[in-house]
Structure 1
Amino acid sequence: MPVKNIDTVRALESARYAAMIEGDVEQLDAMLYDDLLYVHSNGKRETKEQFLGALSAGRRRYHDIEIQTQELREFGDTVLVTGKLRIELESATGPLSSLMTYIAVHVLQKNQWQLISWQATRMASE
C-alpha cells in the first residue's frame, strides 16, 4: 500500500478525533461522507446529519479519545481502519468512559478521503 495514503488516512483519523473533542462540526462535515453510517458502541445507528446534530446541540460531548492500536489496509479507493481506543464522553444518558474496538471505512471521493462508515463495540473491562 502506498505510504502516502496510509499517512493521509491516519492523519485524518487523528484530526477527526480532535474535531470531535473540540465539537468542530464544520470541520467534521468536510471529513464525513454525505451518506455516512455511524454505529455507536451501544448499537445506535446515525446518519451524518444525526451525528453532527448531536454534537452541535450539545447532546454528545467528547472529552478524550485515545488511540490504543490502529491498523490500516487499502483496497483501491477504500481504506479500512481497525483498532482499539479509549473514549470519554457525556451524552443524554450520562458520562461514559470505555475501551472500544472499532472499524472505520474511508473512501477517496474527488481527491478527498472521507469517513463513510464507523462501527464500535464496547470491550469488556480489562
Structure 2
Amino acid sequence: MAGKHIDAVRQLESARFEAMIEGDVDELEKLLADDLFYVHSNGKRETKREFLDAISSGRRRYLDIDVDPKAQELRQFGDTVVVTGKLKVELETATGSLASQMTYTAVHKLLAEAWLVISWQATRMASAD
C-alpha cells in the first residue's frame, strides 16, 4: 500500500510543477493545503494565498522546473510523505530573472482523502565554479 501512495505523490509533484509553469492557479489550489508554508530559496516564507497571488498576478512566472529524478527521494510516514530532491528552476519575478539549482523538501499530508502539500522549503545550491 505504501508504494501506491508514493507513486501518487510522485505524480502530484509532477502535476504541481507543471501547474506552476502553466500558471494554473486553479490546479495549484487543489494541490496545496490551505495552511501551506512555502519557503523560497531566498528565505521568504509565503502562505498559500500569497504564493498563488504572486503567480496569478504575474509577479512570479515559472518558465521551467527540471527535477533530477535520480536525486528525488520519497519516504512515507503514515499519512505523510516527505519528498527531497534537486531541481533546476527558471523564473521571472518583479525584481528580475532567476535561474538556479536547488535542493528541496516538500511535505505531503493525506487530508480528506487527498494528498496536499503542507510545506515546501528550497535552498539554492552553491555554483560549482
- Which category of TM-score, normalised to the shorter sequence, fits these structures? over 0.9
Letter in 2 for 1:20: M
Matching residue of 2:124: 122
Matching of residues 1-126 of structure 1 within 5 Å: 2-68=2-68, 69-126=71-128
Where structure 1 has 5 or more consecutive residues not aligned to the other structure, the ranges are none
* TM-score, normalised relative to structure 2: 0.96
One-letter code aligned to 2:16: R
The answer for unaligned runs of 5 or more in structure 2 is none
Amino acid at match of 1:120: A
Shift in Å at residue 92 of structure 1? 1.1
Aligned partners of 1:95, 1:70: CA distance in 2, in Å? 25
Q: In 2, distance between residues paired with 1:70 and 1:111? A: 24
Higher deviation after alignment, 1-10 or 12-21:
1-10
- Between the aligned partners of 1:2 and 1:123, the Cα distance in structure 2 is 31
- 1:2, 1:45 → 2: CA distance? 31
Compute the displacement of 1:39 (Å): 0.2
In the alignment of these two chains, the number of paired residues is 126
Report the alpha carbon displacement of residue 84 of structure 1 after superposing the two structures with TM: 0.4
Summarize deviations over 1:81-124 as a string: whole Å, max 9, x none.
Answer: 00000000001110000000000000001110000000000001
SS of equivalent to 1:121:
strand
1 CA distance for matches of 2:42 and 2:95?
Answer: 11
CA distance in 1, matches of 2:95, 2:127: 20
The SS at the match of 1:125 is: coil
What is the CA deviation profile of residues 37-75 of structure 1, one whole-angstrom value per residue up to 9, with x for unaligned ones?
A: 000000000000000000000000000000012100000
Structural RMSD (CA):
0.8
